[in-house]
């Protein structure tokens, strides 16, 4: 192979080649599940832009049987005419050229989420096919692409159905690009559309799933805006006051010597809980990491409440003064801005960068919140009293810093006694199994590879951190054991309570619970704890969930058990079995497995199945979070009557 570096070594990628070669540059989440769904979000956002411009009132998203998705709107329709510059149909350019679109100035869209003219062409490049149907002036136009290339040039294929207008884009993500994902997740899509319904105020959004035998169809149509959204976020919590506070106002700001109008909308409602939920949007685009509008809100919110507390003499003498985090404790809040030229961090738009947006939010919240508190003194008093309690709890938590900030996390003299540590002191190869129960912990300790696998058994269910403040959490023995074993501390209020992921003692932390309802509940409580107080573990990919088998099956001709991980697999084995009898062992708990079985099925790096935990794994399963907050969960259906751990089933 030649090692010379010459002019011939330089390659120029044409068209959409670069997108297919380096998809992670253009799609949030790369080729994983996040990137897969980002394709759908890009097309949905285009339809939302038509609604924001005032031309579309209905948007439909359909998940089709073949794995594709279709997004329709009743707006103006994608332009199909030939462009003067280049002589090609506009719709073809939109889907085949990067940085081509109608959102680079305010002529076609005063407010939009699309900025770079990249979304549609990226979706096209990363799909096996994309088909666009446009209904304009009573005619129906169609164009089709395969892997980004035109295979059916735009054509007028006949009259449009009576009254129909707008666009329908149908596409199928390419399995050659997204090798680990093969279907859209209904819950994730539903959540995005639900959010948009609150934020678009009156736009009708329809979601259909045609992949099952029975059609699933939901319609989202909300009028209450950000305030109604905040109330929805607080639906399962006890409210601190009855109705959400709504702040909405257009404000003029200056940018680059020009005056610009920014629409600011904020809805907020405090609950009696402890964790804040704050969602931020710019032009209906979710800004996962916040940005200038979030900073503006927090600054004004803290200043107004501090002034209110001081002027009304609501703080007790000698008590710590609440800080911004104290006032945000238990809040459900939605901050939404609409502006003409938003600037985001990356194509994924995770953070809003416009400083004028922060100025606008700070001004509007500062003025309107002060007025609302004067009009509703009971609300102001309730917020300040809750913040005062939070400040006192923060002081108590600060005193626990010796526990959560260890000088040297690899020194074992502070480790909990129940921890069976590994021999390795290299975090990159060390694993910690957090195991449900002492019995399972005993089997795991005997079956493990002690060179790099550590075992920490937990007794029962840990404290529900959604219903406790930090001071109470740090008094819980099981939580303290995890904090001490993992190292790095925890996230919390104040400079003395923080998490340092570089001090974590294990780069694989594996939750191993029973494959039953109780095990699922314990796993959820642990996930909630890690999400709230050790989130960098999830961000860095250190947190995993073990997948223990639910059944062991043996035929009369087998000596060894075949392990099955769910009921569907068992039914398939039963269906295919030619033996008259099957010996089926149902593992009610990990403690029923001997050390060899536990190693073979769940702990052996060569054969085990681990699920890496992502933020969406925690956020999307709303039923899981609700379970962590005390909601009853239906019991797991069992295929065999559970009269004992061993059953013989006649086939």
Residues classed as catalytic: 436, 514, 516, 518
- Report the alpha-carbon distance of residue 136 to residue 141 in Å, rounded: 8
CA distance 429 to 95: 45
Residue 158: Cβ within 10 Å count: 10
- Adjacent-strand bridge partners of 332: 269, 277
Per DSSP, the chain holds a count of helices (H) and strands (E) of 20, 22
User: Please, which residues have CB within 8 angstroms of residue 136's CB and are 6 or more apart in sequence?
Assistant: 76, 77, 80, 160, 165
By the 8 A CB rule, do 132 and 78 touch?
A: yes
CA distance linking residue 387 with residue 325, whole number of Å: 8
Asked if residues 358 and 292 have their Cβ atoms less than 8 Å apart, the reply is yes
Instruction: With H, G, I as helix, E, B as strand and everything else as coil, classify residue 179.
Output: coil
- List the one residue out of 353, 357, 365 whose CA is nearest residue 267: 365
What is the Cα–Cα distance from 21 to 17, expressed in whole angstroms?
6
Dihedral of CA 477/406/324/279: which sign?
negative
Q: Between the CA of residue 262 and those of 75, 207, 293, 296, what are the distances in Å? A: 24, 30, 11, 13
Contact, 57 vs 203, CB < 8 A?
yes
95: Cβ contacts below 8 Å, ≥ 6 apart: 120, 121, 124, 130, 132, 143, 145
Buried b (16+ CB within 10 A) or exposed e, 406-419: beebeeeeebeebb
**Are the beta carbons of 141 and 80 closer than 8 angstroms?**
yes
Q: Where are the alpha helices (DSSP H) in 318-354?
A: 324-327
- Name all contacts of 85-93 with Cβ < 8 Å and 24+ positions apart: 89/143, 89/153, 89/154, 91/132, 91/134, 91/141, 91/143, 91/154, 92/143, 92/150, 92/153, 92/154
State the alpha helices, DSSP H only, in 323-376: 324-327, 355-375
Q: What is the DSSP letter of 519?
A: H
Contact 287, 345 (CB under 8 A): no
Torsion of CA 395, 396, 397, 398, to 10 degrees: 50
**Total count of residues recorded for the chain:** 651
């Amino acid at each position: 192979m030649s090692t010379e570096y010459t002019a011939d070594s330089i390659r120029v990628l044409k068209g959409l080649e670069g997108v297919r070669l380096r998809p992670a540059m253009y799609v949030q989440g790369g080729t994983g599940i996040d990137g897969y769904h980002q394709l759908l979000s890009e097309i949905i956002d285009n339809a939302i832009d038509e609604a924001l411009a005032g031309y579309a009132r209905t948007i439909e998203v359909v998940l089709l049987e073949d794995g594709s998705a279709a997004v329709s709107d009743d707006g103006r329709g994608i332009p199909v005419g030939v462009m003067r510059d280049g002589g090609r149909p506009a719709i073809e350019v939109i889907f085949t050229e990067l940085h081509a679109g109608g959102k680079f100035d305010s002529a076609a869209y005063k407010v939009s989420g699309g900025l770079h003219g990249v979304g549609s062409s990226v979706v096209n490049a990363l799909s096996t096919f994309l088909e666009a149907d446009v209904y304009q002036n009573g005619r129906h136009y169609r164009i089709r692409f395969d892997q980004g290339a035109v295979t059916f040039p735009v054509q007028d294929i006949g009259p449009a159905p009576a009254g129909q207008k707008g666009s329908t884009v149908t596409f199928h993500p390419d399995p050659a690009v997204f090798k680990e994902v093969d279907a859209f997740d209904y819950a994730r899509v539903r959540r995005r559309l639900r959010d948009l319904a609150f934020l678009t105020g009156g736009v009708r959004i329809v979601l259909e799933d045609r992949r099952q035998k029975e059609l699933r169809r939901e319609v989202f149509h909300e009028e209450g805006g950000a305030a109604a959204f905040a109330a929805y976020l607080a639906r399962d919590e006890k409210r601190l006051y009855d109705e959400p506070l709504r702040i909405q106002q257009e404000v003029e700001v200056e940018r680059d010597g020009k005056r610009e109008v920014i629409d600011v909308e904020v809805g907020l409602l405090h609950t009696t809980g402890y964790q804040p939920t704050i969602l931020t949007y710019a032009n209906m685009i979710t800004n996962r990491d916040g940005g200038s509008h979030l900073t503006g809100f927090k600054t004004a919110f803290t200043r107004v409440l501090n002034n209110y507390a001081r002027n009304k003499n609501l703080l007790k003498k000698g008590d710590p003064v609440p800080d911004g985090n104290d006032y945000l404790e238990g809040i459900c809040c939605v901050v939404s801005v609409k502006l003409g030229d938003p600037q985001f961090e990356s194509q994924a738009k995770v953070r809003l960068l416009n400083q004028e947006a922060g100025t606008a939010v700070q001004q509007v919240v500062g003025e309107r919140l002060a007025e609302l508190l004067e009009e509703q003194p009971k609300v102001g008093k309730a917020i300040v009293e809750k913040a005062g309690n939070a400040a006192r709890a923060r002081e108590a938590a600060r005193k626990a810093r010796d526990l959560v900030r260890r000088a040297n996390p690899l020194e074992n003299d502070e480790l909990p006694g129940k921890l069976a540590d590994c021999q390795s002191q290299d975090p990159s190869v060390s694993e910690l199994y957090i195991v449900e129960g002492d019995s399972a912990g005993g089997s795991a300790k005997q079956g493990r590879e002690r060179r790099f696998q550590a075992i920490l058994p937990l007794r029962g269910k840990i404290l529900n951190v959604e219903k406790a403040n930090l001071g109470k959490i740090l008094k819980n023995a099981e939580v303290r054991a995890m904090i001490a074993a993992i190292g790095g501390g925890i996230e919390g209020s104040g400079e003395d309570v923080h998490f340092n992921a570089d001090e974590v003692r294990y780069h694989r932390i594996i939750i191993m619970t029973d494959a039953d309802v109780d095990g699922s509940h314990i796993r959820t409580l642990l996930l909630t704890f890690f999400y709230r107080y050790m989130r960098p573990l999830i961000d860095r990919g250190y947190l995993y969930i073990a997948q223990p088998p639910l059944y062991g099956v043996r035929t009369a001709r087998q000596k060894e058990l075949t392990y099955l991980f769910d009921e569907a697999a068992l039914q398939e084995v039963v269906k295919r079995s030619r033996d008259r009898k099957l010996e089926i062992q149902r593992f009610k708990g990990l403690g029923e497995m001997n050390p060899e079985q536990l190693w073979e099925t769940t702990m052996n790096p060569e054969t085990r199945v681990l699920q890496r935990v992502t933020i969406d794994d925690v956020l999307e399963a709303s039923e899981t979070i609700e379970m962590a907050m005390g909601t009853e969960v239906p019991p797991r259906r069992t295929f065999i009557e559970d009269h004992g751990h061993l059953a013989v089933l006649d086939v």
